Amino acid sequence: MRFITDKTDIPLPKLYGCFEDDDAAYLVMEYVEGVTMDSLTDEQRKVVETELQLHLETLRGLKSDVWGGPSGLVRSLLTSFL
């Protein structure tokens, strides 16, 4: 999420924390008010669909500067074996 926030203008809720408990992962995030798609008019829905399409195109074009992805996890794992 930090990578997307740093590299794009895609709006994301703030991530306050993350943790694991009993083999489950949890994200503590900002609550964002909103509406469901089925409550929108056809015209409003088209606006949202267009925005989503643009965001998907942006995400498809993202490239990490770190080998193994934004987290560098693969690189970290490889260096621990070397």
Q: How much is the pLDDT for 40?
A: 97
The domains of the chain are located at 2-81
Say which residue, 38 or 65, is predicted with more confidence: 38
Is 80 in a helix, a strand, or coil? helix
Burial class (CB in 10 A: 0-12, 13-18, 19+), 37: exposed
Say which residue, 50 or 69, is predicted with more confidence: 50
Q: How much is the pLDDT for 64?
A: 79
pLDDT tens readout for residues 5-55 = 999 999 999 999 999 999 999 999 999 999 999 999 999 999 999 999 999
